[in-house]
């Protein structure tokens, strides 16, 4: 467990230290939030509440499929996972650390979005924070797990990108993030 915690901490530091990673982890999701809340919801509290779920869904999909899965395929393709074979670290510990760091970053950005939605747009919360956290956690971890499973069976990045993008579009439509179902 100590090795998993250390590897998770290192992945978190890399996510915040690398400018391009920071942009796609923090700035890009916040941009989508302000786009949805300001333009599509016109700043109306109930409209922001209706669009808050799709924004969280979009963030969970991109972080789970592209942030976890595609990154793993890219690391395997470039030989970046080979040095881990020389350490006492198991594959399960490495996967768990990647999923934990992805979850922590996604949870942090989601919490910041929730604070902005509540304070700037006065968004009403239809459920408790605990219920929202439970559903969000299940969603983020299940999508990240799916991304890791797909990453384990894809041969190269081109194949993985096709599968990830197909799943992304399907989940985007079925989640209601692109088309609001009544």
Contact 140, 101 (CB under 8 A): no
The CA distance from 166 to 111, in Å, is 28
Q: What angle do CA 172, 100, 145 make, to 5 degrees?
A: 45
Whole-number CA gyration radius for the chain? 17
pLDDT at residue 181, as a whole number:
58
Q: What confidence score (pLDDT) does residue 173 get?
A: 86
Q: Are 144 and 64 in contact (CB under 8 A)?
A: yes
- If DSSP codes are grouped into helix, strand and coil, which group holds residue 97? helix
- pLDDT digit string (tens) for the chain, length 182 residues: 888 899 899 888 888 888 888 888 889 999 989 988 888 889 899 999 988 988 999 999 999 999 889 989 999 999 988 888 888 888 899 999 999 999 999 999 999 999 999 999 999 998 899 999 999 999 999 999 999 999 999 989 999 999 999 999 999 888 877 776 55
- Residue 171 CA to residue 37 CA, distance in Å, equals 21
What sign for the dihedral angle of Cα 86, 87, 90, 95? negative
pLDDT at residue 3 in the model? 86
> Is the distance from CB of 141 to CB of 96 less than 8 angstroms?
no
DSSP string computed for 5-16: HHHHHHHHHHHH
Domain ranges of the chain: 2-127+135-175
What pLDDT does 156 receive?
92
pLDDT at 114: 95
CA–CA gap between residue 92 and residue 155 (Å, rounded): 20
pLDDT for the residue 82: 87
Report the largest interatomic distance among the alpha carbons of the chain, rounded to a whole angstrom: 55
């Amino acid at each position: 467990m100590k090795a998993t915690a250390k590897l998770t901490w290192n992945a978190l530091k890399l996510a915040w230290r690398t400018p391009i990673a920071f942009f796609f982890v923090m700035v890009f999701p916040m941009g989508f939030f302000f786009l949805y809340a300001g333009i599509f919801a016109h700043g109306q509290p109930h409209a922001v509440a209706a669009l808050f779920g799709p924004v969280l869904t979009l963030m969970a999909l991109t972080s789970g499929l592209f942030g976890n899965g595609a990154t793993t395929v890219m690391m395997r393709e470039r030989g970046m996972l080979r040095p881990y074979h020389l350490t006492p670290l198991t594959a399960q510990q490495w996967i768990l650390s990647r999923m934990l760091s992805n979850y922590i970053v996604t949870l942090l950005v989601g919490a910041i979005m929730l604070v902005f939605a509540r304070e700037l747009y006065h968004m009403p919360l239809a459920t408790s924070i605990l219920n929202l956290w439970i559903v969000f956690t299940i969603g983020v971890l299940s999508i990240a797990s799916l991304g890791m499973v797909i990453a384990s069976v894809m041969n190269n990045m081109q194949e993985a990108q096709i599968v990830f993008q197909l799943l992304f579009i399907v989940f985007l439509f079925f989640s209601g993030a692109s088309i609001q179902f009544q």
